[in-house]
Amino acid sequence: MVDSPSPCVGLFATCLVDLMRPVVGFAAVKLLEDAGCTVSVPEAQTCCGQPAYNSGDNPDTIDIAKGVIATFEDFDYVVVPSGSCGGMISHHYPVLFEDDPDWKARAEAVAGKTYELLSFLYDVLKVTPAAAFDGKVTYHDTCSGLRELKIKDQPRALLGNVTGLTLSEGNETETCCGFGGLFCVKYPDISEKMVDAKVDDVVATGADTLLAGDLGCLMNIAGRLQRRGIPIQVRHTAEVLAGMTAAPAIGEPMGSDAAPKVSKD
C-alpha cells in the first residue's frame, strides 16, 4: 500500500464514461474506496483535450489542460479509468507547455501523479479486489494503455483473482481495434477492416465477454459485434472487478433481459 493511510484521489471520469457509461465511474469509485482511498469527482472537470490535440488545435488544448491541471493539482493522485485520457495527461500535458516554465512545472507535477485505474490499483495500492464473475472472458490491450502507459500484466493479474472467471487470450490482443478517436472518422474504411479483424480474433477465443480498460475501444468493438450479430458481451474491466455487472453490457439496450453476469463476494 501507499504510505498515506487514506490517499486523497481525484477521479478524472472522462467524457465517454460521463456521457455513455457512468457505471464505469461508479465502479472506479467503489474500487478505490474499497482500497482505502478518499475519492472526489470534481464537478469542474472537463474533457482532457485529446480530440483537440489530435486535430492539431494546440491553443484550445492548452486552455483545456490548464483547467484540468488547476482542478486536480491539489490531490495526492489523479486516477483515470482510461489509458487514452490517462496518457494524454501524463505524457502530453508537459509537452504542451514547453515555452511556459510555470505551467510546465504544474503540468509535470500533475502528470507525475496521474495513473490509469488498473495500474493504480495494482502498481501503487498493491491490491487485488475480490470479486466473482461466472464467464469466459478475453482481454483487449488498448493502444494508449499498452504503448504509453505499459499496462499489460496489471489487468490480467487483477482478473486472475476473480472467482469463476476464465481468461482466454486471443492471438491479436495487442492489435489496434481501429477506433483511434478521430482516426475512425477520417479513415472509416480502414477502421472497419481493423475492427473486423479484432472481432474475428475475439470470436476465435470462445469467450462470452470482452474486457478492456478504454471505453472508446470497447464501444467500437461492441458496435461491430452487434452489427455482425455476434452475441459477445462487452464491458469495462472495472465493472467486473467491482462486481457491478448487473447493468446491460455496452451497446445493449437498457432493460435488456440478458442475464446479469454477477456479483461481488
Residue 222: helix, strand or coil by DSSP?
Answer: helix
Topology classification of domain 8-121: Rossmann fold (3.40.50)
Predicted confidence at residue 5, as pLDDT, reads 78
Strand partners, 138: 210
Rounded distance, CA 16 to CA 86, Å?
13
Predicted confidence at residue 260, as pLDDT, reads 39
Q: How far apart are CA 69 and CA 74, in angstroms?
A: 9
Domain limits, CATH 3.40.50.11810, in the chain: 128-241
Per-residue pLDDT of the chain (265 residues; tens, 9 = 90+): 455 579 999 999 999 999 999 999 999 999 999 999 999 999 999 999 999 999 999 999 999 999 999 999 999 999 999 999 999 999 999 999 999 999 999 999 999 999 999 999 999 999 999 999 999 999 999 999 999 999 999 999 999 999 999 999 999 999 998 887 777 777 778 888 999 999 999 999 999 999 999 999 999 999 999 999 999 999 999 999 999 999 999 999 876 444 334 333 3
What is the topology classification, in CATH, of domain 128-241? Answer: Rossmann fold (3.40.50)
Instruction: Taking the CA atoms of 123, 125, 128 and 132 in sequence, report the sign of the dihedral they define.
Output: negative
Q: What is the pLDDT of residue 4?
A: 57
Strands (E), 60-113: 77-80
Q: Which phi and psi angles does 20 have, rounded to 5°? A: -115, -30
Q: Nearest Cα to 167, choosing from 199, 127, 211, 121?
A: 211
* pLDDT recorded at residue 265: 36
